[in-house]
Amino acid sequence: MSQLSYAFKEAFNNLGRNALVVLGAILAVFISLTLTFGTVVFGEVVRVNTLQWAQDVRVIAFLQDDVTPETTAELQNEIATWPQVSDVFYVSKQEAYEEALVLLSNDEAMLRVLEESPDLLPASMRVQPVDPEDYDLIVTRLQSTPGIQRVESAGDAIDAMIALRDGLQIMFWLLAVALGVAAVALIANTIHMAIYARREEIEIMRLVGASNWFIRTPFLIEGALEGLIGGALAVTFIVVAQQLAVDRLADLPDWINLAIQNDFLLRQGALVLLFGVLAGLLGSSLSLAVHRTLRS
């Protein structure tokens, strides 16, 4: 029997021999990687929704009443060429009036004012930034552009949205790193217990001339298998939970989107599986390195 076949056989034997300990390690890895993968998926949901909300962020440039249609067209074309601008469209006085009737439908006093003076609202340019962070620069350029009366934007709301996006991203990655370290430590502890349970057998193997690598390899494979199984369970759980959330929470408001591209789930799921295997190998290596029975 080749050394590799022996290593895999011993690794599976170890899994069966220490079933309860191994089950505990797999469950621990499953919980850690579930939280890690769940954090990554939730971070993607936040990113997707942030981008969706950002599409609704617009800077409104109100035009002076004496601006001619030709000047308006030139102004719109000029703004569209700015590198910070994703989209710009013109809203006439009539369109602004119709929009206000909808927005102020519950305010009878304002509706009476609008009906008495339908030309009260000025025409405007609605400008969408490429990135929400660009809104301040766009506002500054618009304020110095001839033909524009005043500029309005939801500056505080945009700043809050950007801060929320950046803060959540940092929190997600810090949590993922912390949980990954916990998974490695749990696997290392499991392998340490397995080595301790077989310490007499290992001593006999060393006495008959077995090399350290011959003895260590089954434990490395065992750790990798524990990480792989725990990772596979974690990926399956999160993917199923995400799909159920999309199906069961279909009545959420349109501005909340729980759907994620399948490519993202497949790509990140594969990384979680790879991390599970690497965490198992790393945990096993750490345990083998510190265990006195297997020191060179």
pTM over 0.75: no
- pLDDT at residue 132 is higher than 80: no
Give yes or no for a contact between 57 and 129, defined as CB atoms under 8 angstroms apart.
yes
Question: Could you read off the pLDDT of 178-235 as tens digits, one per residue?
Answer: 777 777 777 777 777 766 766 776 677 677 766 666 777 777 887 888 888 888 999 9
Give yes or no for a contact between 39 and 179, defined as CB atoms under 8 angstroms apart.
yes
Q: Which runs of consecutive H residues, i.e. helices, occur in 104-211? A: 108-116, 135-143, 155-197, 199-207
Q: Tell me the C-alpha distance between 187 and 223, whole Å.
A: 6
What average pLDDT does the chain have? Answer: 77
3-state DSSP percent of the chain in helix, strand and coil, to 5: 75, 10, 20
Taking residues 63-82, report their average pLDDT: 88
CB atoms inside a 10 Å sphere around CB 248: 10
Give yes or no for a contact between 242 and 260, defined as CB atoms under 8 angstroms apart.
yes
- pLDDT at residue 257 is higher than 60: yes
Residue with the bigger pLDDT between 125 and 106: it is 125
Residue 128 host element (H or E): strand 124-129
What integer pLDDT is reported at residue 251 of this predicted model? 65
Question: Could you read off the pLDDT of 56-70 as tens digits, one per residue?
Answer: 667 888 888 888 888
Taking residues 98-107, report their average pLDDT: 75
